[in-house]
Structure 1
Amino acid sequence: MAGGNAPYRVENGELIGRAAAKTPNSWLVSNQQYGDFIVEFEAKTDPILNSGMMIRGQRRADYRSGVVHGYQAEIDPSKRAWSGGLYDEQRRQWLYTLGRNEAARRAFRSGDWNRYRVEAIGNRIRTWINGVPAADLVDDTDARGFIALQVHSVSDEVAAKNPEVRFRKIRVITDRPQRYALPETKLEQQGWLTNRISPGEARAGWRLLWDGRTTNGWRSAKGPSFPAKGWAINDGILSVEPSGGGESTNGGDIITTRDYSDFELSVDFRLTPGANSGIKYFVDPSLLKGEGSAIGLEYQLLDDERHPDAKMGRDGNRTLGSLYDLITARNLSDPDSPGKRINPPGEWNRALLVVRGNHVEHWLNGFKVVEYERGSPEFRQLVAMSKYAKWPRFGEGKSGPILLQDHGDRVDFRSIKLRGR
């Protein structure tokens, strides 16, 4: 046992865990450590109890006082239905959600037995739920660890109902598991390799928009060259240098050297306390020649807790993940948990922009937070009420460069990748 003190028992060939009040997540941990392996099991949980199987799990005295952490294949009976997704317990949170995998969401049978398969081979982890591909992750954080069965922490009210999770038919292959790996699927692969494209991402058309070393492919939003100051590249990280919080007053914004019109953009970013920045798209550098940031649609990057901009605008439309000054970021992926999933300043977050013609989506750490149609009556009404009202047909250009904003605060970027045109 590790973590909390929820009770486990064996009964009729089933390993059963019961939720308990006033205790953190509880884990039944394997004695053996596993590197490359395939594990299959069946699980059934009460509809009010979250659970999961941790794979390559970790527990070290030098990490958060020995808390259990690592990859977890999710058992999620909520309306969100992300069973089979991959969660990084006590670390980076969600690595592979089912927000864009409707087939796997439908495959889970709440209140019934569900069959899981997990393949952990090399730096790739794949999952299936009732035979349906659920997750395909490439990440090199942990290559070996224990397997553990979770009983999630619950409120006193839920604990009073004695919810249980049941596991059975757990079996594992450790001898050359690659011989038994299932064939490739059409499932989208998500890579967490720093400044590298995974094989599956490459097959799907992803490429690095920043190479992790040079300024190639980027220039100043106000000139033909990369800024001589205000930006730094160190250890695979592109950073805005702090300069007192002014908007584009130091090195200034940087933009891509080519335009994009139909694309997906993934950016890992790390805020410092109180920081403000942004990722802009469909930028028109010609609209503002003087001081200030170039004009374009903006995926807002902000420390909502500390920066005053979070309380400005309307209804929170200047907070992290929002379409700046237009649409407030909200959790659109999880009806039971309206709050955004944010890693705090000092930790990495992942922004995803999806642009399909006029249809645009903002995603934050695997959760959809904004969705809209450029040029629609609703969009134009929002523009008319915003700081962009003076720019005719704001945000409706056919194409434009992508911009990283200098707002005078230290913000770090890495693993900037794009597919599309």
Structure 2
Amino acid sequence: MNVAGPNEAPVRLEGKSVAIFVCWILGFGSLVAWNSMLTIGDYYYQVFPDYHPSRVLTLVYQPFAIGTMALLAYNESKVDTRKRNIAGYILFFLCTLALIVIDLGSSGKGGIGNYIAICVFVAGFGVADAHVQGGMVGDLAFMKPEFMQSFFAGLAASGALTSGLRLITKAVFDKSSNGLRKGTMLFLSISTFCEFLCIFLYAFVFAKLPIVKYYRAKAAREGSKTVSSDLAAAGIQAEPNGMADIGDKLPERLSTKELLVKNIDYALDLFLIYVLTLSIFPGFLYENTGHHQLGSWYPLVLIAMYNVWDLISRYIPLIKSIKMTSRKGLMIAILLRFLFVPAFYFTAKYGDQGWMIMLISLLGLTNGYLTVCVMTVAPKGYTGPEANALGNILVLFLLAGIFAGVALDWLWIIGNGSF
């Protein structure tokens, strides 16, 4: 492959469509294990009825995700992206496999010991998430925006597809003996396979695509040291000190602090998007929406509707005429989402299931659309190393928003006797 020089137009950049598809799969694998845990929440409520599994497991997951992400974001320029992402997918694979082993070993029985073991491996999901999501977003930030959009669409697809599969397994296994458990084992098995597939695709396919080689070689010329292993895996020798030729002078890079200051509004955008979403989803849907005609199907339908609209909305920004790029416009739209809080409260108290389904659909629609708008607009105009660092910063704030939202989610049950 001929890689373009500093002042040349890129040539022979084949593989864009394949790269977009692989990014989708890698995004899917980044959250399929965790979304499976959320989707099989009704099984864990049956096995551990007194431990608030939906809320507790989410609260266990997040500190490890944000703590690991903070360390990786601070040291991102020294962390090898290839090793980071492969390690993350391997950890996802091992943790999902371990959940299957725990359930098989205990024959699906509850108890504090099994619950603690599940919490340990859920914490492993958090560590893996920080490795993969931060690493992939940083990597894709200096490539084409379509790659970032596809990765985030894959994240949403993991929720939509697991929700759809959960509805199918409930219909199939609902009347059978141990139906919930059978559905859970199927979910975890599919997740384990998907994580293995991601390891293979990232390690042996993605790095060798011509268009990916080009962007990584370009980032190396701009001073990035995080792409050297991926370039080596693709058969490209990284130049010493990130220079393409002896006479090249590396551009001066903005520091992480400078990048944060210049993009604090984008970082706050992501924090506010997810603090609102996770203060409602999924704990509120399982424990605070009351009893309706759908019965045990009700929370599953609500989660499925959120995930489906979250997925659909992540493709809307591909239509340039309706993609929001204004920094002020994004902030206003994100702040207006906080009207969902009183809307959900009064709908749960006075509304019927149709209104709640409509409301959760709007929550998913705005979540996915605004996320993709922010993540594809923010990295524009930066060099490879700067875009990588900014991608890690944005994911850190996204995870911080999730953590804060999960903590605030507990406020819904204060005073209702659920403690």
**TM-score of the pair, normalised by structure 2:** 0.24
Higher RCO, Cα 8 Å, sep 6+: 2
Larger radius of gyration: 1
Which has more helix, going by share of residues?
Answer: 2
